[in-house]
Chains A and B, each alone.
Chain A
Amino acid sequence: MNRNALTKKDYLIASTIAILYIIILLATSKEIGFVRDEGYYFKAAELYNGWFVELWENIKKGRPLASFTKANIDRYFSYNHEHPALMKELFGFSWQLFTNTLKLTNNSTGFRIPGMLSAGLLLFLMYLFAAEFFNRRIAILSTLMMAVIPRFWFHSHLACFDVPITAMWFFTVYAFVKSLYSFKWGILTGIIFGFALATKHNAYFVPPILLIYILYLRHNEFKFHKEPNGGMSLSIPTIPIGFLSMLIFGPIILIAHWPYLWPDIFARLGTYFNFHLHHEHYPVSYFNVTYDRPPLPISYPYFKTMVTVPAVIWTLGAIGSFRATFWLIVQWIKKTPQIYSTLESRAFMLLILLNAFIPIFIISLPSVPIFGGVKHWFPAMPYFCLLGALEFETLLKFVMAMKPSLIRFSRQIQYVTIPLIIFTGILGIIYIHPIGTGFYNEFIRGTRGAADIEMQRKFWGFAGYYELDFLNKNLPPNSSVYFHRTNYDSYRMYQRDGFLRRDINYAGDPENAIAATIHFQKGYMKDLYKTWRSFENRIARRGVYIDEAPMVQTYIRTKK
């Protein structure tokens, strides 16, 4: 395994990609409706921020301890306590700064900025990682491939945890690898891991991956010794400083950042773990069947990845994964000097493969609660893109070796092919934006193919946003609307940000509404039928469609 010294140019390229991406995300943020989880997180962020504002006031008044009573902590932090507080605190701080203080954004964008920054951070780190351990071409390609995955693009806009944890997962692994060469990074690994734990519970799966990596890397250091007294002793490899640091800083940061835990740390941590071990199941449609309880078919996350990552990127990633696995096995069976000839390089490739595979593998386990969204295995995708870029590199070298006359055109070839690969992802974004959850790739003929086999193309209730203009223009004063999968907190934010008239009321049922925005999500279609019956008509007044497949439709009650 080679390590390249990162230069200013590398930091410049990484920063440029990250900053451009964040700017584009910011510019397009208002085009994306509020997903269900955002409704809850907006509310939580505002509450949590309220605690810090009050703490500041109490400090100024000389009575800071007043903020730390159990009653006061619970007043602010008991809402949405099933997730660590870090991202919600950041959403709140961002809102306080950009919306309240600087008056630069509306409320929702103010909350969303930390999510976008996480996407930028991930791209920044991806570039540096690949530039450090491979080369610039691989770094640029892998980073841009990640950036143009349409579902990642969609999720990067949101005030949610999935993109942030992807960034923090990647950062932890990167820091750990660097910690093998640097004490400073050893300490930093623990701190970064602590923030990863504070971002989302996916972080708990990182240490086992790192453990497998280190056990393989240092397996030669396991040695049995014969003792003079006839007994045996075992010497074990040096434990990397990164692990010790994770063990120390991980729990400290998790607890320190989350005031909700402080009044009763163990009981409340227990509640947190218990919630995720017995998580509710999200209904998921897959090949004409809606699964609302485990087990999901084992193939689910693998197939879903295959059809939701742009076809060219998936092809490179999949072949790259197979190739890397194949060579690792070849090396294991029969040592060959051709590839991965050092233990260090083999272990490093194993680390990349494990990270690309394990987040998907976990979801495929029959005992795991149903988490259907691809966002739940986003942490695998940076590594999958890296494997794809490595495959492209292999092919480029292969072509050059086959036709040496092309070597002098190698720059031109990459200048054409890399943009072509990335452009297929951009086409995917253009095709689906802003309904990112509906993206299916060319392999199954896009969203229309997904509709044929009833793959889930809509969830989270955000598409109701695109019906608001129609409702604003066409409903009489004080109308009640059944917003279906759009939750109450998202509805409140639409009103706060001026997207929805203030006099329009939220109805929990079509019976009590004169209009309904129905989201086409299998498992909730009974609400469409209920609306038809209650409204006494089946005339859609308008809707949002991708390739003629409906995402959301608006119905109006028949006047009597």
Chain B
Amino acid sequence: MTLQRVLKISNMISLFIFIGVLIYSFGWYIYSPLSRPDLKDYENIASHLKQRIDNDRDVIILQPFWAERAREYIGDLNLLNPRYPLEEDFTQYENIYVFSVFGYGEKIKDGLSKNFKFIEKKDFGKLSLYYFKNERPQKIIYNFYKNIKDAKIRVLKSNEIKECRDFNNDRWRCGGPEWQYIGREILDIDGTGRECIWAHPLTNAIIEINFENVILGDYISGFTGLTDEATRYVQGSPVFMSVRIDDKEVLYHTNPNKIGAHRFTINTKDLSNSPHKVTFRISTHLDGVRHFCFYADTRLAQ
């Protein structure tokens, strides 16, 4: 092929790309403002939701996860905006609403329909609301996160047991540096702010979190996680969590040094409807940047 020909072909390609991008560019700038919802749409969808939502029973999933203007309108309704909603556990909720901006709800409709019954989609101007019904919601009997103040915390070292008795501002302090506490937090795990119990492990020690007289159901369900920031520490050790019921180990769970909420479920059907001692033991090899937390509750399947 001669250079003349190369020049001609490259010019032709360049011209087509240039014209194509120019047309696309104008098209996008026309489409973009037209696709945005009005504030009135937010008001309408919020007023619709406020009449229906019971925070203990229902949840609103925001799609896309970043479209947080919704928080201005829906008040303190139970709004979750997980990065990957199809990987989350919504089984405790009876009614699941997807608050959809820019049509993003459609992306998760089929996925949610596998576990929940799709009832309807309602449009509010350029916003949409998808309604799913969970016909067999799991009932939470005991929430370890909410009851952290009832916990008894101990730090076990080879020849020393230290009890943490100072509870203040949702935190059990165990002395030492400021990060050394057990308490309620909302932490960035897998790009999502999650309510969980901060339990930074210690090198050469085990953190023991005891809950007495916990009424068990069919399962203990929950997740562990390292904050997204912590997982970027490449030398970070895995964190281990052992769960014991009445001093008998029922789960040994490893949280790798990887981004994500690592879920676990413990079958407790044989022990349901009766009080038990539940113990979480947290440990690691090296505690550098182990910003670890966990969430757990006891549930009844229905």
Question: A-side interface residues toward B, CB under 8 Å?
Answer: 288-293, 310-312, 315-316, 319, 323, 326, 330, 336, 338, 391-392, 394-395, 398-399, 420-421, 424, 427, 431, 442, 445-446, 448, 451-452, 454, 520, 523, 525-526, 528-530, 532-533, 537-543, 545, 547-550, 553
Residue from the list B10, B64, B193 in contact with A451, Cβ < 8 A: B64
The answer to whether A543 and B76 touch (CB under 8 A), given A391-B14, A525-B193, is no
Contact B18 A540 (CB under 8 A): no
Residue from the list A316, A392, A548 in contact with B69, Cβ < 8 A: A548
Render B98-121 as a binary contact track against A, CB cut-off 8 A, 1 for contact: 000110000000000000000000
Contact A525 B14 (CB under 8 A): no
> What 14 additional pairs, Cβ within 8 angstroms, besides A315-B18, A548-B102?
A290-B229, A312-B21, A336-B3, A394-B14, A395-B14, A395-B15, A442-B25, A445-B32, A454-B66, A543-B72, A548-B66, A548-B101, A550-B66, A553-B68
Q: List 29 A-B contacts (CB under 8 A).
A: A290-B228, A292-B232, A311-B25, A319-B14, A319-B17, A336-B3, A338-B4, A398-B11, A427-B26, A427-B29, A442-B28, A445-B28, A445-B32, A451-B64, A454-B66, A526-B188, A528-B193, A530-B186, A533-B184, A537-B76, A538-B79, A539-B71, A540-B68, A541-B72, A543-B68, A545-B69, A549-B66, A550-B68, A553-B72
Residues of B contacting A291 with CB < 8 Å?
Answer: 232
Smallest CB-CB separation from A425: which chain B residue?
Answer: B25
Q: How far is the CB of A540 from chain B (nearest CB, A)?
A: 4
Q: How far is the CB of B186 from chain A (nearest CB, A)?
A: 4
How many Å lie between the Cα of A310 and that of B21 in the bound state?
Answer: 10
Contact A543 B229 (CB under 8 A): no
The answer to whether A540 and B228 touch (CB under 8 A), given A323-B14, A451-B64, A454-B191, is no
Contact B193 A431 (CB under 8 A): no
Residues of A contacting B29 with CB < 8 Å?
Answer: 424, 427, 431, 442
How many Å lie between the Cα of A543 and that of B76 in the bound state?
Answer: 16
Smallest CB-CB separation from B32: which chain A residue?
Answer: A446
Residues of B contacting A532 with CB < 8 Å?
Answer: 186, 193
Q: How far is the CB of B288 from chain A (nearest CB, A)?
A: 14
Q: How far is the CB of B260 from chain A (nearest CB, A)?
A: 12
Residues of A contacting B71 with CB < 8 Å?
Answer: 538-540, 553
Contact A547 B18 (CB under 8 A): no
Residue from the list B22, B69, B83, B227 in contact with A421, Cβ < 8 A: B22
Residues of A contacting B36 with CB < 8 Å?
Answer: 547-548
Chain B interface size band reads 35 or more
Q: How far is the CB of A203 from chain B (nearest CB, A)?
A: 33
Closest 6 CB pairs of A and B: A529-B186, A540-B71, A398-B11, A451-B66, A442-B28, A427-B29
Render B6-23 as a binary contact track against A, CB cut-off 8 A, 1 for contact: 011011101101100110
Smallest CB-CB separation from A530: which chain B residue?
Answer: B186
Contact A311 B21 (CB under 8 A): yes
CB proximity to A under 8 Å, residues B208-246:
227-229, 232
Smallest CB-CB separation from A339: which chain B residue?
Answer: B7
Interface membership of B85, Cβ < 8 A? no
Interface centre among B7, B21, B228 (most CB of A within 10 A): B21
Contact A395 B11 (CB under 8 A): yes
Smallest CB-CB separation from A338: which chain B residue?
Answer: B3
Q: How far is the CB of A558 from chain B (nearest CB, A)?
A: 9
CB proximity to A under 8 Å, residues B31-74:
32, 36-37, 64, 66-69, 71-72
How many Å lie between the Cα of A6 and that of B108 in the bound state?
Answer: 61
Smallest CB-CB separation from A555: which chain B residue?
Answer: B71
How many Å lie between the Cα of A420 and that of B18 in the bound state?
Answer: 12
Residues of B contacting A446 with CB < 8 Å?
Answer: 28, 32
Q: How many A-B residue pairs have CB under 8 A?
A: 131
Interface membership of B75, Cβ < 8 A? yes
Interface centre among A293, A312, A537 (most CB of B within 10 A): A312
How many Å lie between the Cα of A229 and that of B11 in the bound state?
Answer: 57
Q: How far is the CB of A324 from chain B (nearest CB, A)?
A: 12
CB proximity to A under 8 Å, residues B177-201:
184-188, 191, 193
Interface centre among A289, A319, A523, A553 (most CB of B within 10 A): A319
Smallest CB-CB separation from A388: which chain B residue?
Answer: B18
Residues of B contacting A539 with CB < 8 Å?
Answer: 71-72, 75-76
How many Å lie between the Cα of A448 and that of B64 in the bound state?
Answer: 9
How many Å lie between the Cα of A452 and that of B32 in the bound state?
Answer: 15
Render B71-93 as a binary contact track against A, CB cut-off 8 A, 1 for contact: 11001100100010000000000
Residues of A contacting B8 with CB < 8 Å?
Answer: 398
Interface membership of B252, Cβ < 8 A? no
Q: How far is the CB of B241 from chain A (nearest CB, A)?
A: 22
Q: How far is the CB of B184 from chain A (nearest CB, A)?
A: 7
How many Å lie between the Cα of A523 and that of B37 in the bound state?
Answer: 29
Contact B67 A319 (CB under 8 A): no
Residues of A contacting B18 with CB < 8 Å?
Answer: 312, 315-316, 319, 391-392, 395
Q: How far is the CB of A430 from chain B (nearest CB, A)?
A: 8
Residues of A contacting B26 with CB < 8 Å?
Answer: 420, 424, 427
Smallest CB-CB separation from B33: which chain A residue?
Answer: A431
The answer to whether A448 and B21 touch (CB under 8 A), given A442-B29, A547-B32, is no
How many Å lie between the Cα of A451 and that of B71 in the bound state?
Answer: 17
Contact B69 A310 (CB under 8 A): no
Residues of B contacting A289 with CB < 8 Å?
Answer: 232
Q: How far is the CB of A43 from chain B (nearest CB, A)?
A: 30
Smallest CB-CB separation from B10: which chain A residue?
Answer: A323
Smallest CB-CB separation from B11: which chain A residue?
Answer: A398
Contact A550 B193 (CB under 8 A): no
Smallest CB-CB separation from B14: which chain A residue?
Answer: A319
Contact A310 B64 (CB under 8 A): no
The answer to whether A540 and B191 touch (CB under 8 A), given A398-B15, A424-B26, is no
Smallest CB-CB separation from A316: which chain B residue?
Answer: B18
Contact A548 B191 (CB under 8 A): no
Residues of B contacting A431 with CB < 8 Å?
Answer: 29, 32
Residues of B contacting A523 with CB < 8 Å?
Answer: 229
Residues of A contacting B66 with CB < 8 Å?
Answer: 451-452, 454, 548-550
